Chain A
């Protein structure tokens, strides 16, 4: 494929738990919305209008600002055939692009393999948060998974700077030795060496970083700050990933208290991240993709909403052609799918767009087929 996209960077923010699409981009003038949401609704008066039909949740003001600058693509009615309402299975489908069988390779793991087939840079993909999301997993593809960038590394529990640095020298020696080794030992040696060099390089990122932008203290904000640090350090990282923790968007109960806070956190994190890159003149080659595993039921349950389908996703950045993509799903009872919003565009269309138009990769083998692409990138 063409290498003109070789510096483009994709940041993925996973909103785990199933974000309530109807209370995110709100169909505020639709009487069916008010009828279905007697309790768990956004007051139409407070919505930040996009047009006469829909508008942003008022807690998304920082994203609305980016929308006004034409930097936000809203992917409406996104989903996949025969929607699954189990968090983990549905997230797996988004991660592996395998709606019919259980897959183990992640779409971004494959993308990293295609970007860097000879594993020249062990930091081509970096995840923030502990444990690797399946989206980034593919056999033989090294991806660093960083719980805390400030303290990330091998043998972090060894006390004393001198002691630790000597221990790391020893570690490097022990893992570079391939004397009389089997294939398994060679693999493990290489893995240890990769891990160490990745950690060494990553640890330089916070030191190089200065910024006037203040991030909030929530986990998403802090990880978005880490993502900015790694991007700005120029380590050649192309895919950066993080997850809103604890399945927090799973608002079965007390949604009216939780959902606004979640979007305040996410919106301010994304906005701070964008301002930060802007301040460093490093925003042009970065887009941020926000997704969730499903939307929630059209009708509320009196205090929250249960698992549904037909969700909403966002792509945000300088290179984005702001606008509405896909269709806003109808709330008319005959248009619903088992009481849920009916998806009208496959998530793999969005993936294919990002992979081909942004990262310059052949999307077909990664997402498992041909999907019509959106025009959200300029």
Chain B
């Protein structure tokens, strides 16, 4: 297997999944790049490998987790055999945000996250319709407080601004304040069965209810089209807009390809790669707003293949990627909440983004506090030579011969971590540091320690912060 095929596969798996151990990269590269893209794009073709029965029968700590929320999601991201299903759920959660700070109900949010799994690779129209009917969202953005004759604009506004079009593009606005009001009117009557917070009624998830008596069925003019619009019509009008194509393409680019400016700047700042965005927009319309088709174009494009290490990993990518690589938490055991909390320490409180705008990404993930958390967590895991994934790296390097040069140690570790590229200057610094120990005798415990230390130093580099 050519190493550059494996390097490309490592790139694909970092973006379309949460990275993969070297052995998996080899197997996938042998199957071929496009075949792997197809496999990832069709999670429904294989079981996810998540055995809920086992989790449900496990000890007390898991009782609360299986109801949903960040711990169950973390477990799924670490263990799912359908990694893109989890990644796309994370993608939608970062855009169609609800927060546990307001909902305070894990099962309710779980229903929403499951919806992202089920619909996330389908039509953007269906996704917008489903999120508009999602009880968590209806509560989170107060649509249950929006009534015929007394609208609450919160959902109507965010649907346009943050979920589907954005305030503007190419220097002009995408909608007016009147559009916001008309949109909110069209969604009156879209409400929920019971109030969501736990107190004082307990933890029963709410259901979506359409209440025709509270629906404003007057004539509305929305984005230039006049009619007796209901919420579904609004979604149908939105998805036809070039602004919707642009919006979803830019989000996809920022999430899967390379860090671009943050959403509020999109009205006036053109895309980092306009040609790439154009390709995605064209596919959006050609495929009838199909996310899977857009991702197929994206993953198979040169702009994607060439965008190595062009994104700062999100905390979820950093933590889950590490766990998948070291091979820990593959069976239930105590301590999962601590792993979940690491993402929060690094600035991404899963299921609870700071605002409905979601998380700011790219370099904004990094500050002096989150950087220390990220490096220490990753280095602690990588230095644990008992973990199966680290053992595999040690054994593989050990099998190369009775001795190993420091050069090969550095290069081999970079390769087995997924072909990380580091500048020559950093490589020689690492080498100089490792040279002091001289040539290594493989098969000794000292060798295992030296491999662990080398991995720790590599994950502390600036380059490892990127995916």
Contact = CB atoms under 8 A, between A and B. Distances in A.
B169 to A, nearest CB: 23
A134 B99 CA distance: 15
Contacts of B383: 157-159
B275 interface: no
Interface stretch (A20-28, A136-144, A330-338): A136-144
B356 A89 contact: no
Contacts of A306: 199-200
A172 B188 CA distance: 58
A195 B345 contact: no
A86 B199 CA distance: 11
Contacts of A210: none
Name the residue in A127, A142, A174, A189 with the highest tally of chain B Cβ atoms < 10 Å from its Cβ: A174
B379 A158 contact: yes
Nearest to B456: A158
B102 A89 contact: yes
A166 B433 contact: yes
B366 interface: yes
Given A89-B101, A157-B376, A179-B425, A144 B368 contact: yes
A183 B367 CA distance: 15
Interface size class of A (residues with CB under 8 A): 35 or more
A156 B453 CA distance: 12
B278 interface: no
Interface string B427-457: 0011001000000000000000000010011
A175 B99 CA distance: 35
Contact of A167 (B102, B347, B354, B457): B457
B209 interface: no
A188 B366 contact: yes
B456 A157 contact: yes
Given A179-B423, A188-B366, A173 B354 contact: no
Contacts of B453: 158, 163, 167
Contact of B426 (A102, A134, A177, A192): A177
A88 interface: yes
Given A86-B104, A88-B102, A154-B375, A195 B426 contact: no
A213 B377 CA distance: 34
Interface string A163-184: 1001100110111010110001
B93 to A, nearest CB: 17
Given A154-B375, A170-B430, A194-B368, A188 B363 contact: yes
Given A154-B372, A177-B425, A171 B367 contact: no
Nearest to B382: A157
Nearest to B380: A157
A177 B312 CA distance: 18
Contact of B376 (A154, A159, A189, A191): A154
A192 B456 CA distance: 16
Nearest to B379: A157
Interface string B335-352: 000000100110100001
A132 interface: yes
Interface in A268-306: 301, 306
Interface stretch (B46-54, B56-64, B223-231, B459-467): B459-467
Contacts of B347: 132
Contacts of B465: 188
B77 to A, nearest CB: 20
Interface string B60-81: 0000000000000000000000
Contacts of A198: 368
B422 to A, nearest CB: 9
A242 B363 CA distance: 26
B274 interface: no
Nearest to B433: A170
A159 B367 CA distance: 25
A135 interface: no
23 contacts: A88-B101, A88-B102, A88-B352, A102-B354, A102-B357, A130-B341, A130-B345, A130-B373, A131-B344, A131-B345, A132-B347, A145-B369, A155-B379, A155-B460, A157-B456, A158-B379, A158-B453, A174-B426, A174-B461, A174-B462, A180-B423, A187-B363, A188-B462
Given A153-B372, A154-B375, A189-B462, 13 more contacts: A86-B104, A89-B102, A92-B101, A102-B355, A132-B370, A145-B373, A154-B372, A155-B379, A157-B379, A157-B383, A157-B456, A174-B462, A198-B368
Interface of B: 99-102, 104, 197, 199-200, 259, 312, 341, 344-345, 347, 352, 354-357, 362-364, 366-373, 375-376, 379-380, 383, 423, 425-426, 429-430, 433, 453, 456-457, 460-462, 465
> Which 7 A-B pairs rank lowest in CB-CB distance, beginning with the nearest?
A88-B101, A157-B380, A145-B369, A195-B368, A142-B368, A102-B355, A131-B345
